[in-house]
Structure 1
Amino acid sequence: MRAPLLLLLAGVTSAPAAAQTLTLTPLAEARLRYEQVSQTGLPEDADAVTIRLRAGVQAALGNWSALAQAQGNLAVVSDYDDGLHGISRRPLVADPQNIALYRAQLRYKTDHLAIAAGRQAIVLDDERFIGSVNFRQNGQTFDAVRAEISPIRGIKADVSYAWDVRTVWGVDGNGARPASIGGNYVLANLSAATPIGTLTGFGYLVDEDQATVQGYRLSSQTYGSRLAGSRRLAKAAKLAWQLSYARQSGYGRNPNHYAADYWLADLKLDLNGPQLGGGYELLGAGNGAALTSFQTPLATTFKFQGWAGKFLTTPPDGVRDLYVDAGYGWAAIGPIKAVALQAVWHHFESDRLVRHYGNEIDVVASGKLGKTTASIRYASYTADHFATDTHKFWLQLDWMI
């Protein structure tokens, strides 16, 4: 980490400190969550009450800023499998107890350039490939150097090199679920504004160096493009769209030789209250062997293929996800702001051999009162030819300073 920091310090300069004011900004947030899971095949349900706390400070002086932030997760009720302590009679809730450094970074920013070095959260596009996994109580961060360059209006290059990924398993992570995964990670995006949306080309190189994590079989190279845009059809009607394609193959020490495709087509119609949408997402299969299908090990996977978590690792035969969603949003209901209701239905099939995996229904309601956001969420997966019936329920309070 020292070499990238020295390069950062040597490559940019700031204005004289005497003409600037040092600003200190506290960083604080808290989350209280109850998660209940019942899963066919396990004799007991999981009940988890966890509290996440994050606290730190950011110091800014002119174009420079530095921050340090710690995070901790306390299991108040721990009747669940946290993924780290052997075979359990209960379903997995991937929120082990933890206390650790969450972020520690130095950043230099101008109108056309931002460079950050250190432990940081990296979120690219919709987090389909690179995300912070913020839904889990222990978020994902990267020990990395990141450069964001905007030479002209509407053009942006975003390139990161990371040498370690801090996982959601926390400081006690071990074996196939380690605290961190070292390696060489190159995450590159180039985006341009067009009349029909933002067009992004991307390349993600993942070269893991820990054999305990699937024997290097998550190392991959992924290249693709994405178009995301929106247009107002009328005063009270707005249409948004996403189109994406990517191709993935083995990389680095991955012993698997494979190639798999990714496709996404998504439409959303917002009628200034009512919301309708749907889409089709495909994570393709390779030759049908384990981990030769399209994988997204650095994604915020909770956002995709249903909240029940049946497809966090893509099955050997890939997955096709046809989904429809509907909702309603209110700016305010009395003192409660940003009130939203949403329901999503998923129909899952395999890509290879086209077998019906199962269906899922997800429902969420949320609202904000002051600095606190409350949400209630439910997911129900009905299995056909993949996994087992699973039902999950969440109650959650989020507070941020």
Structure 2
Amino acid sequence: MQPVRQLSTLTTLILLAGSSASASANSESKSETQAKNSVNLNLRYETVAQDNSLKDASALTLRTRLNYTSASYHDFTAVIEFEDSRQVAGVNKYNDAVGNNTEYSVIADPETTELDQAYVQYKKDGVTAKVGRQVLTLDNHRYVGHVGWRQDRQTFDAATVTYAALDNVEMSYSYINKRNRIFSNEKDFDAKDHLLNLAYKTSYGKLTAYSYLLEVDEGTANSLDTFGVSFNGKKDKFSYSAEFATQDSESGATDYSASYMAIQGGYSFDVVTLKLGAEVLGSDDSMYGFSTPLATLHKFNGWADQFLGTPKEGLVDLYASVSGKAFGGGWTVTIHDYSADESTDTVDDLGSEINAVYAKKFAKNYKAGLKYAAYSAGDATAGKVDTDKIWLWVSAKF
């Protein structure tokens, strides 16, 4: 009966928050000087089947996020947000990545109730300063993201300053002293991270330069320093992007260097959009792979999540996608081909993958979707196995 009681409690909270949000929406339109609150719900069923000794996993989880944003006072606002993830109806045969049910495949959605955001913000004349627990995303999430696909999203205890007073220039700097990761509180890291991002908009696209200096505050000497530049834009029916970065990793007496390259081109027809791309996470002599520990990793290199950590041989991801509209929603199919950046005698072919998704908004505040990932392993010595994942979800925002 415990899942029923939990669901009943959550439902009560949802109804209270939803009623408050609805009442606010029915009143006169809000300005930036007025307080507001919101509720965000995500109910998801996920299955994982792998060609190994682990049992097939299944999970039905409900994520509830309650947000309150204060009225503006002398250009200051405050935000507080709580997030809760619960197993529903006893569908909980999965390894939650924090030590439970380890005989099953991993579905990284542990049960948790936590403070998701709590910050004070100052905003005036193109300058925004924010201090406290907050969501941070930069560019396409390749280096810094919220990992929003998982039920417990990633946030940071940080101070952030953004300058956007000029029409074509935007600069941001963040100092992070804690990484609140997607595994409840079990695997959060104290940190000393510096994020600097500078963007300049042109008539052809946006040019961005960045410097991300990361350090886990664990009492030992370590650093992960990345410097890079990217360009992305769109002209008529064409889209294009290119990026290059270098990275130095130090941990004690160990020192590695690797590079990153990405290129993508797309063309929109009347019915569908086609994209072709390549992403190379380089290797240092097959001993270290380019790393992006703060990224929304699920967004890159396939939804089967086989490359959340870059292999020490590096990773070359060649992909093609086609997307379009159908029945009021959107669909995308993507094919990936993976190989090592610096192959060895035993590791070269890292497999292939097919991804497919369909999602549709309905009744103004709701969205539902179906998503599939099928990974086929390459060289047996690469440590990967065939993996199939299916997701079915419905979400609501009020």
TM-score (norm 1): 0.86
Asked if structure 1 preserves the Cα contact closer than 8 Å seen for 2:205 and 2:232, the reply is yes
- The aligned counterpart of 1:99 is 113
Q: Quick one: which of 126, 130, 135 aligns to 2:144?
A: 130
Aligned-partner SS, 1:388: coil
- The aligned counterpart of 1:350 is 340
Q: Quick one: which of 355, 362, 371 aligns to 1:362?
A: 355
The 5-angstrom pairing of residues 49-60 of structure 1 reads: 49-60=60-71
CA distance in structure 1 between the partners assigned to 2:218 and 2:50 by the alignment? 31
> Offset of 1:254 from its aligned partner?
5.0
1:314 aligns with 2:318: no
Aligned-partner SS, 1:109: strand
1:66 aligns with 2:78: yes
Aligned-partner SS, 1:302: helix
1:29 maps to amino acid: N
Asked if structure 1 preserves the Cα contact closer than 8 Å seen for 2:44 and 2:391, the reply is yes
Asked if structure 2 preserves the Cα contact closer than 8 Å seen for 1:258 and 1:287, the reply is no
- 1:235-254: CA deviations, max 9, x gaps? xxx21111000000024x55
Aligned-partner SS, 1:368: strand
The 5-angstrom pairing of residues 5-154 of structure 1 reads: 22-62=33-73, 63-76=75-88, 77-85=91-99, 88-154=102-168
Q: Quick one: which of 217, 221, 225 aligns to 1:221?
A: 225
Asked if structure 2 preserves the Cα contact closer than 8 Å seen for 1:31 and 1:397, the reply is yes
1:186 aligns with 2:194: yes
2:182 maps to amino acid: V
CA distance in structure 1 between the partners assigned to 2:386 and 2:305 by the alignment? 11
- 1:26-79: CA deviations, max 9, x gaps? 121000000000001124200010000000210121522111000010012210
Asked if structure 1 preserves the Cα contact closer than 8 Å seen for 2:35 and 2:69, the reply is yes
Aligned-partner SS, 2:298: helix
- The aligned counterpart of 2:249 is 250
- The aligned counterpart of 2:14 is none
Q: Quick one: which of 269, 278, 286 aligns to 1:271?
A: 269
1:203 aligns with 2:211: yes
> Offset of 1:129 from its aligned partner?
0.4
Q: 1:231 to 1:205 in 2, by over 3 A?
A: same
Question: What percentage of aligned pairs have identical amino acids?
Answer: 29
CA distance in structure 1 between the partners assigned to 2:375 and 2:48 by the alignment? 11
Bigger mean CA deviation after superposition, 115-124 or 268-277: 268-277
Asked if structure 2 preserves the Cα contact closer than 8 Å seen for 1:323 and 1:344, the reply is yes
Aligned-partner SS, 1:257: strand
The 5-angstrom pairing of residues 268-307 of structure 1 reads: 268-289=266-287, 292-307=288-303
| Structure 1 consecutive aligned stretches of length 4 or more whose deviation exceeds 6 Å | none
CA distance in structure 2 between the partners assigned to 1:51 and 1:382 by the alignment? 30
> Offset of 1:152 from its aligned partner?
1.7
- The aligned counterpart of 1:10 is none
CA distance in structure 2 between the partners assigned to 1:391 and 1:21 by the alignment? 46
CA distance in structure 2 between the partners assigned to 1:132 and 1:138 by the alignment? 9
Aligned-partner SS, 1:60: coil
1:158 aligns with 2:172: yes
1:376 aligns with 2:366: no
> Offset of 1:195 from its aligned partner?
2.6
Asked if structure 2 preserves the Cα contact closer than 8 Å seen for 1:35 and 1:47, the reply is yes
- 1:313-364: CA deviations, max 9, x gaps? 000100000000011125xx4xxx4x11110000000001271110000000
Aligned-partner SS, 1:294: coil
> Offset of 1:287 from its aligned partner?
2.8
Which ranges in structure 1 are unaligned for 5 or more consecutive residues?
A: 1-19, 233-237
- 1:359-391: CA deviations, max 9, x gaps? 000000010002111010000000011300000
2:224 maps to amino acid: S
Bigger mean CA deviation after superposition, 60-69 or 368-377: 60-69
CA distance in structure 2 between the partners assigned to 1:313 and 1:250 by the alignment? 14
Aligned-partner SS, 2:70: strand
CA distance in structure 2 between the partners assigned to 1:154 and 1:21 by the alignment? 24
